[in-house]
C-alpha cells in the first residue's frame, strides 16, 4: 500500500473508490505513502518471516474480523490461505482477486478455500472453477483520459517491468526500421528490471540501442508510480505492447483509456482490430502497423472498449454487491 510503488500503487485508487461506499480495514504487506479518508484504517504486517506475518494477520483478524462483512484478498494466494481459518471461525466469506496464467499448488488450495474468485479475463485465471467470475480490469476513467486534440502518433511508449517476456527488443528493432523508412519516431520505455535475469536482459537492450544508432530516439525512463502515469500517457500517440504472460495487461487498458493507439502481439488482446495487432517477435510487421497508423491516423475507439468492459466503477460495484 504505497503511492510511490511503481507496481501496485494503482490499488490506492481501488481503495478510494471502495471507501466511497464502505468502511475499510486494510492489512498490507508493506505500508508507504497514502492519501485515504478517515473511514480507511491501514495496518502493516509485522514479523520478520512468513510465520511472523501470519501471526500478525491473525492478530488483526482477532481484533477486527468479527465486525466485518467479509474479506477481499488481492492477488497473493498466501493472504487468502492465511486468513481462511479465521474466516471459517467467524463465518465470513472470502473474495479473491487474481490475474496470472500460472496454476500453482497454492492457487489450487486457494480455489478450495475461498468463496468467490474475480479475474480480469478468461486468460487471467486458468484453473477451471465454478467460483470464477470474469469482471474485467478496474481502470479509473476519471484519471486516464485523452489529451485534447490528441498526441503525435510518432511518439511511441511502452509501460511495464523490463523483463524478457515483454519482448522489448522487437519494439526497438521496429523503431530502427521505421526511422530507416523516414518516420521520425521516438520510443520511451517506462519501467525497470527487478530480478537478476531482468537486469541482464536490460543490459542487452541498452547494447542493442547503441548498436542500432538509436541513442536519443529510444529512452529508458525508469519506473514511475501509478499516479504519475495519467499525465505520461497523454503525451504519446501509440502504445507498443508484447507480453507472453497470457494475462490482460492493465497498462494497455490504461493507454487505451488515455486515447492512445495500441499495437500488441499478445493473445490476450486478440479482440483488438487487425491494425492494432502484430505478429509475435516480428519487428517488420510491427513497424508496418505503426507506419500505417502514423500515415492514416484512423478513428480511435479504444477508450470506449475500456469504458464498457474495464471500468473501475463497475468493478467496485460488483465487489460490494457480492458482500
Question: HSE (CB half, 13 Å, CA atoms) of 53?
Answer: 14
What's the pTM?
0.85
10 vs 187: CA distance, rounded Å: 24
Let me know if residue 168 belongs to a domain: yes
Alpha carbon 18 to its chain centroid, in Å, reads 19
Let me know if residue 244 belongs to a domain: yes
Let me know if residue 217 belongs to a domain: yes
Query: Which three cell numbers mark 33?
Result: 505513502
Per-residue confidence of the chain (323 residues) as pLDDT tens digits?
888 887 788 888 899 999 999 999 999 999 999 999 999 999 999 877 889 999 999 999 999 999 999 999 999 999 999 999 999 999 999 999 998 888 899 999 999 999 999 999 888 888 999 999 999 999 999 999 998 888 899 999 999 999 999 999 999 999 999 999 999 999 999 999 999 999 999 999 999 999 999 999 999 999 988 788 999 999 999 999 997 766 788 899 999 999 999 999 998 898 999 999 999 999 999 999 999 999 999 999 999 999 999 999 999 999 999 99
The β-bridge partners of 74 are 97
* DSSP labels, 106-147: HHHHHHHH-SEEEESSGGG--S--TTEEE----B-TTTS-PP
99 lies in which domain range? 11-134
Let me know if residue 147 belongs to a domain: no
Neighbouring C-beta atoms of residue 305, cutoff 10 Å: 16
The β-bridge partners of 40 are 24
Let me know if residue 82 belongs to a domain: yes
| Count of domains forming the chain | 2
Does 118 lie in the same domain as 160? no
Q: Interhelix angle for 168-180 vs 196-211, to 10°? A: 10
* DSSP labels, 259-285: T-EEEE--GGGTTS-GGGB--TT-HHH
92 backbone φψ class: left, alpha, beta (φ>0; ψ -120 to 50): beta
Let me know if residue 149 belongs to a domain: no
9 vs 31: CA distance, rounded Å: 11
**Predicted pLDDT of residue 248:** 81
Query: Which three cell numbers mark 308?
Result: 464498457
* DSSP-derived 3-state class of residue 96: strand
Does 191 lie in the same domain as 54? no
Let me know if residue 141 belongs to a domain: no
Amino acid at each position: 500500500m504505497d503511492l510511490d510503488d511503481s507496481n501496485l500503487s494503482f490499488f490506492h485508487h481501488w481503495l478510494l473508490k471502495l471507501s466511497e461506499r464502505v468502511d475499510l480495514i486494510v492489512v498490507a504487506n508493506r505500508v508507504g505513502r497514502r492519501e485515504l479518508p478517515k473511514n480507511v484504517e491501514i495496518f502493516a504486517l509485522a514479523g520478520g518471516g512468513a510465520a511472523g506475518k501470519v501471526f500478525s494477520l491473525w492478530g488483526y483478524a482477532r481484533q477486527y474480523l468479527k465486525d466485518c462483512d467479509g474479506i477481499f484478498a488481492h492477488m497473493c494466494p498466501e493472504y487468502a490461505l492465511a486468513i481462511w481459518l479465521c474466516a471459517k471461525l467467524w463465518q465470513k466469506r472470502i473474495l479473491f482477486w487474481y490475474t496470472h496464467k500460472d496454476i500453482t499448488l497454492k492457487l489450487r488450495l486457494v480455489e478450495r478455500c475461498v468463496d468467490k474468485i474475480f479475474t480480469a479475463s478468461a486468460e487471467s485465471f486458468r484453473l477451471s472453477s465454478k467460483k470464477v467470475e470474469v469482471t474485467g480490469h478496474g481502470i479509473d476513467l476519471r484519471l486516464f483520459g485523452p489529451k485534447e486534440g490528441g498526441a503525435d502518433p510518432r511518439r511511441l511508449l511502452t509501460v511495464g517491468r523490463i523483463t524478457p517476456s515483454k519482448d522489448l527488443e522487437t519494439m526497438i528493432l521496429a523503431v530502427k526500421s521505421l526511422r530507416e523508412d523516414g518516420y521520425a519516431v521516438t520510443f520511451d520505455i517506462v519501467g525497470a528490471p527487478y530480478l537478476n535475469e531482468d537486469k541482464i536482459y536490460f543490459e542487452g537492450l541498452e547494447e542493442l540501442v547503441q548498436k542500432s544508432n538509436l541513442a536519443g530516439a529510444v529512452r529508458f525512463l525508469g519506473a514511475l508510480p501509478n499516479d504519475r502515469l495519467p499525465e505520461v500517457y497523454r503525451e504519446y500517440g501509440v502504445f507498443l505492447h508484447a507480453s507472453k504472460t497470457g494475462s490482460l495487461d492493465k497498462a494497455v487498458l490504461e493507454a487505451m483509456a488515455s486515447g492512445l493507439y495500441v499495437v500488441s502481439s499478445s493473445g490476450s488482446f486478440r479482440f483488438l482490430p487487425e491494425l492494432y495487432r502484430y505478429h509475435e517477435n516480428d519487428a517488420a510487421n510491427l513497424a508496418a502497423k505503426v507506419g500505417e497508423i502514423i500515415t492514416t491516423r484512423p478513428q480511435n475507439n479504444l477508450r470506449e472498449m475500456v469504458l464498457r468492459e474495464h471500468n473501475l466503477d463497475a468493478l467496485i460495484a460488483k465487489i460490494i454487491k457480492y458482500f
